[in-house]
């Protein structure tokens, strides 16, 4: 019986292995370039995520790598310095990834230097449902506030978990995020990624890094 | 060996207008409606579909004698998914802004019915040359469909073509609705009606001239 199945499915197996190998090769070739693009996009976002940060100064320093959790729950975060023109730390930009509704969501979270306030949020990569979940990328303006507006203007506390609501939060309700209509799971995923990233362990590690000061990037080879 | 079905040239020509994927077969509606608010996005999508369709058709045609009827859809999907992933990674590496602009619509090419339909109708039954010509013809037809819708929407909605302003704001008030989903449905419907009207008119003229003769 097993032989019958294998004899029927051998083509699928051969194709799966061949295509898998080809994709691995393509990924090996393109991954450094994709990473460089994402790094450039991250650095471009620093002034948006931490107000008054200087992009040119911030990009001169190496990101801090912080590992939190234990065993299989261990996660390593890349945290970028957000510095002013005189290289004084203004805050951090934390690169965090987690499960969304359709695929993984990559976020850039801006926090102040002491990790007390969320100063901004940006979506680096997402593949949520078009027309619904992908509205988590909308910033909007004063008149038509998008999902990201809530993270950039409201100054939510970084040391308290964010919670998603379907109704608009009241003025005195901090850390309440209004979900995108029809995309509560995507909205909740974003908040979960932030809550997980802004754990006590990460904030302690960043406080230590703040004391040590930033490390310059090695000069590029000619 | 005598070849069954249309010749490579017939397949190529049919794909462009007589069997146009958008206006005739009404396939691939998701990208047609979603990414036609600008010519750049539409043409990038058309190029990605052309790459995937051509590669998938060639591979399917090469292995057509090995295909088991009940496993063929699985093989098509596996093949298409591979080339879509390559296109997606290529865009992310070399055209990151466009990759972000198109978002999930590039991975969604996997479920684009135009491609799986061509694998089933042509590539799994005919030779490599025919399959390749069919893919190129269908890709050109798809690109033509996307370009016609995107051109109307971008010019009327934004006064620009490929991002270059051709109608200044004082000369043409922007019809913002054309860049939104209703604009896509309106344009598609009107253009489809126009294509049907022209082809009806053309076939009636042919009939009339045949009757005279």
CA pair distance B51, B91, nearest whole angstrom: 12
Q: Alpha-carbon dihedral of residues A79, A83, A88, A93, nearest 10 degrees?
A: -30
Q: Give the residue on B whose Cα is nearest the Cα of A26.
A: B86
Helices of type H across chain B: 8-16, 29-34, 39-62, 72-94, 96-102, 113-118, 128-158, 181-212
pLDDT mean across residues, chain A: 88
pLDDT band of B153, cuts 50, 70, 90: very high
Residue B11 tokens read as 């397949």
Q: How far is CA A155 from CA A43, A116, A121, in A?
A: 21, 9, 11
Does residue A106 or residue A217 have the better pLDDT? A106
CB contact (8 A) between residue B66 and residue A131? no
Nearest-by-Cβ selection for A12 from B34, B71, B92: B71
Residue B3 DSSP SS3: coil
Q: What DSSP string runs through A35-62?
A: HHHHHHHHHHHHHHHSTT--HHHHTTBP
- Residues pairing with B10 in the sheet: none
Q: Which residues of B116-137 are buried (b: 16+ CB within 10 A; e: fewer)?
A: bbbbebbbbbbbbebbbbbbbb
Q: Three-state DSSP class for B161?
A: strand
| pTM given for the model | 0.82
Q: Which residue of A has its CA nearest to B63?
A: A11
Q: Does the structure show a pLDDT above 60 at B1?
A: no
B67 to A16: CB separation less than 8 angstroms, yes or no: no
Token readout for A49 is: 């995520």
Q: What is the pLDDT of residues A170-222, one digit of tens each?
A: 777 778 899 998 899 999 999 999 999 998 888 888 888 888 878 777 766 54
Q: Does A23 touch chain B (CB under 8 A)?
A: yes
> How many whole angstroms separate alpha carbon B160 and alpha carbon B178?
12
Q: What distance in Å separates the CA atoms of residue A180 and residue A136, rounded to the nearest whole number?
A: 7
Å between B100 CA and nearest CA of chain A: 8
Which of B175, B66, B86 minimizes the C-alpha distance to A23?
B86
Rounded percentage of chain A residues whose pLDDT exceeds 90: 44
Q: Residues of B with CB below 8 A from A127's CB? A: 103-104, 107
Q: Mean pLDDT over residues B141-168, rounded?
A: 93
For residue B152, give how far its alpha carbon lies from the nearest alpha carbon of chain A (Å). 22
Question: Regarding beta strands A163-165 and A176-178, do their DSSP bridges make them parallel or antiparallel, or are they unpaired?
Answer: parallel
User: Is the per-residue pLDDT at A143 higher than 50?
Assistant: yes
A78-81's contacts with Cβ under 8 Å and 24+ in sequence apart are A79/A202, A79/A206, A79/A209, A80/A42, A80/A43, A80/A46, A81/A214
Q: Assess A99–B contact: CB distance below 8 Å, yes or no.
A: no
Question: What percent of chain A is modeled with pLDDT above 70?
Answer: 97
- Rounded to a whole number of angstroms, the distance from the CA of A208 to the nearest CA of chain B is 35
pLDDT digits (tens, 9 = 90+) for A27-74: 999 999 999 999 999 999 999 999 999 988 888 888 888 888 888 888
Q: How far is CA B183 from CA A216, B45, B140, B186, B190, in A?
A: 51, 19, 23, 5, 11
C-alpha–C-alpha distance, residues B120 and B69, integer Å = 11
pLDDT band at A1 (very low <50, low <70, confident <90, very high): low
Distance CA B178, CA A106 (A): 31
């Amino acid at each position: 019986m097993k032989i019958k199945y294998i004899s029927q499915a051998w083509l699928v197996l051969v194709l799966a292995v061949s295509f898998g190998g080809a994709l691995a090769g393509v990924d090996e070739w393109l991954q450094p370039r994709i990473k460089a693009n994402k790094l450039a996009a991250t650095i471009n976002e620093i002034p948006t995520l931490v107000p008054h940060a200087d992009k040119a100064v911030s990009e001169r320093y190496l990101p801090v790598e912080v590992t939190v959790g234990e065993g299989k729950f261990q996660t390593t975060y890349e945290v970028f310095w957000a510095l002013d023109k005189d290289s004084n730390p203004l805050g951090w930009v934390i690169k965090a990834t987690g499960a969304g509704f359709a695929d993984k969501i990559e976020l850039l979270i801006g926090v102040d230097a002491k990790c007390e306030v969320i100063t901004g949020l940006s979506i680096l990569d997402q593949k949520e449902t078009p027309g619904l979940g992908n509205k988590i990328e909308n910033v909007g303006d004063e008149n038509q506030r998008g999902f990201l507006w809530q993270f950039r203007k409201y100054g939510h506390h970084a040391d308290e978990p964010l919670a998603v609501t379907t109704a608009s939060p009241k003025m005195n309700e901090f850390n309440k995020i209004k979900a995108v209509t029809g995309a509560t799971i995507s909205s909740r995923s974003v908040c979960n990624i932030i809550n997980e990233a802004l754990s006590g362990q990460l904030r302690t590690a960043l406080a230590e890094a703040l004391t040590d000061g930033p490390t310059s990037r090695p000069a590029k080879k000619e | 060996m005598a070849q069954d079905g249309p010749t490579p040239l017939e397949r190529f020509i049919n794909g462009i207008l007589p069997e146009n994927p958008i206006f005739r077969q009404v396939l691939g509606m998701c990208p047609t409606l979603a990414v036609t608010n600008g010519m750049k996005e539409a043409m990038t999508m058309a190029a990605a579909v052309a790459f995937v369709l051509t590669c998938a058709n060639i591979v399917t045609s090469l292995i057509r004698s090995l295909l088991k009827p009940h496993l063929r859809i699985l093989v098509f999907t596996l093949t298409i998914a591979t080339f879509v992933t390559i296109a997606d990674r290529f865009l992310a590496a070399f055209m990151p802004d466009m990759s972000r602009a198109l978002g999930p619509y590039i991975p969604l090419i996997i479920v684009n019915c135009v491609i799986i339909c061509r694998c089933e109708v042509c590539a799994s039954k005919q030779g490599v040359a025919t399959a390749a010509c069919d893919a190129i013809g269908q890709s050109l037809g798809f690109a033509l469909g996307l370009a016609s819708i995107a051109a109307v929407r971008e010019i009327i909605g934004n006064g620009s073509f490929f991002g270059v302003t051709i109608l200044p704001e004082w000369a043409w008030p922007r019809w913002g609705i054309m860049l939104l989903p209703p604009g896509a449905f309106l344009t598609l419907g009107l253009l489809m009606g126009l294509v049907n009207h022209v082809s009806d008119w053309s076939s009636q003229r042919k009939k009339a001239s045949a009757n005279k003769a």
